Structure formats: C-alpha cells, structure tokens
Amino acid sequence: MVEITVRGAGILGLSIAWVCVLRGAQVRVIDPNGPAAGSSGGVVGALAPHVPENWNPKKAFQLRSLLAAEEFWSGVAEAGGQAPGYRRSGRLQTVADEHALALAQSRSRSAQTLWGQHARWIVEPAPDTPWSPHSPTGQVIRDTLSALVHPRQACMALVSALAARGVMTQTDGPDAGQVVWATGVQGLDALSREHHRPVGNGVKGQAAVLDYDAAGAPQLFVDGVHIIPHLDGTVAIGSTSEREFADPYTTDEQLDAVIAKARAAVPALVDAPVLARWAGVRPRARSRAPMLGPWPGRPGHFIANGGFKIGFGMAPAIAHVMADLMLEGTDNIPEGFEVTASF
C-alpha cells in the first residue's frame, strides 16, 4: 500500500488526500493550524469559468474540473455525511456597453464550440426581479457552467469524508512515504527562499457575508464583484485583490466599497445586514496557474499550490492529476502548470 503524507489541510491538500484514499493509498494529513485555517476558510466560493475564447490547456483543464465537481462533491457528502454547500447555480453578468455586448455575443458562439453540450453562454434580456443586477444595456450574460460551494463547509465535508475512511487530520507528526506540500502562501515563501527567486506571493482578499436568502438563484458577477447566494440562506460578497497590505486579517474601507457596489447593483441587497467580514491571504504562483509536480531537488516530495481565485474550482481535477503522479508515476500535469513554470 502506497503511503502519502499531505502537508496542508486546505482545499487542495484535502482533495488530494481524498482521491488518494479512494484509490487505496494509506494517507495522513498534517496541518499545524487545522483544516481550512488559511484562505480555504473564506466565504465566497465562486466556481466560475474563464471566458470561452483563446482556448488553452488551463481553460480546458478548468472545464474538465468544473464538469467533474458535482460527482466529486456528492461523493464527499455521501461518504462523510456533511454537505459542502455545492450547487451548479449558473451565473448572470451585466453587459456595460455595445462593445461589451458584441464581445459577449461572440463568446456565446465560441462556447457552442468549446463547451459543447456541457454548458451554455447566452446573451439575453435582464430578468425583471429584485435579484437581477442593473445592466446598462438591458442585457445580461447567463452561463450554465458556473457553480458555487461554501468554502469552509466544503473543507469540513472533506475532513468528515476522510475521517469516515479512518484518516484524521493531525496538527503534527512525521512524514511517511511520498509527501505533497499544499501549504499555500507559506509554501510559496519556502520555495522562494530555497531557490533564491520569487515563485509566488500572497494576495490579500476581503469579503463579506450578508443576511439575505437567495438560495436557488444564480450567482452574479457585477463590476468585478462576485455575489454568491449560498444554500445556507446567506449571500457572500467579494472580493478585493491587494498585492500590498499592512495587516492580512483586518477589513477596511476597501471592503466597504465592495459591499456598496453589490448593494447598488442588486436591489434585493440594499437593506441586507452584514453578518460577517472576512480577510485572508491567497496564494498566487508566479505563473498565475496552479503549481503542480515534483519539488525540485527533493526526491519523493511534491507541490500543489497556487490556483489563485480558482483553487476550489480546480480542486477535483488537481486531486486526480496529483494522485496519478504520486501513485502511478503518470504525469498528466497540464502545460503551464508545472512547478518549473513559476521559476
């Protein structure tokens, strides 16, 4: 039986551990801060696709992962008895002007080719409902590929599924067998120090949770803001992207501006109380793609990191690629995702 040690109990580490367990490996998960302690414990959870144009391996890999998500999360929920808050909700986006409208219509045609029968990208009149965002052209983009997940609930659902298979998340312990490092910003810092060059950095994000029940509605993307109607009867709003910051865990007027944008765009949210404000730092590899593969100079050690803003959406496919590599020696890492791409 192959032994795997997963360092890091965020979404990538837990997903890799789960797939390795399903394939019969003996797995241990170690994180000194516990599950979902870093950016995976956030509140937004938008699983949104890249636009259907200029196709490349990253977009193809993301499509495969988003299409696999429903089966992945239903299996996790069934195994551990805890819901991850997943739903393929679809998404509405506003269309700012005539140029944007022509571009959206072109992408609709591209989606027919690139997404096939799996999902649609449609330009249509904005619906007349309190949940519909104000669109200057009166048109919206509706895609049927976008999904949502509750980040912390999803991580804890994986913890429960692993526990049901006898794998408990530990705060310390020795490595055994092959080791995969899914340690987020700390892992990027360690790689940068070891190789004397920056391979990535942390980007701060601020987000909020509002008291409004829109469960079952599509998620919205308006003026750069994700508006996510979670299944628990709350709405998540986010997020900022801050390369420079003094305190990674405090919120400020930048979040106030994000909330104001959401209220201005969606009539239903004007009076919705703020239940929580969240801030954290997300790992961004230098290549901007997830960083996957062997750790250079460390035989038997592997890296799963990066995935800035798309980690939850990419997690099902990343888990299978890393399991292929560690358990079977098969390299199915997409072009541009290799660890060396960030060097």
Angle formed at CA 54 by CA 53 and CA 57, multiple of 5 degrees: 110
| pLDDT computed for residue 269 by the predictor | 97
Residue 147, token pair as written in the block: 């999904």
| Structural domains counted in the chain | 1
Q: Is 36:15 a contact under the CB 8 Å cutoff?
A: no
Contact 17, 167 (CB under 8 A): yes
Which pLDDT score is estimated for 1?
73
Residue 276 sits in a domain whose CATH number is: 3.50.50.60
Q: Could you say which residues of the chain have pLDDT below 50?
A: none
Amino acid at 147: A
What is the rounded distance in angstroms from the CA atom of residue 29 to the CA atom of residue 6? 5
**How many beta carbons lie within 10 A of that of residue 299, not counting itself?**
7
Q: Which pLDDT belongs to residue 283?
A: 96
What is the C-alpha end-to-end distance of the chain, expressed in Å?
A: 34
- Domain around 336: 3-342
Please state, in angstroms and rounded to a whole number, the distance separating the CA atoms of residues 304 and 319.
9
Contact 32, 169 (CB under 8 A): no
Identify the pLDDT of residue 343: 83
By the 8 A CB rule, do 192 and 305 touch? no
Q: Max alpha carbon distance in the chain (Å)?
A: 59
Decide if 114 contacts 62 (C-beta within 8 A): no
Number of C-beta neighbours around residue 112 at 10 A:
12
> What's the pLDDT at 277?
98
Residue range 230-255, pLDDT digits in tens: 999 999 999 999 999 999 999 999 99
Token pair for 177: 């067998």
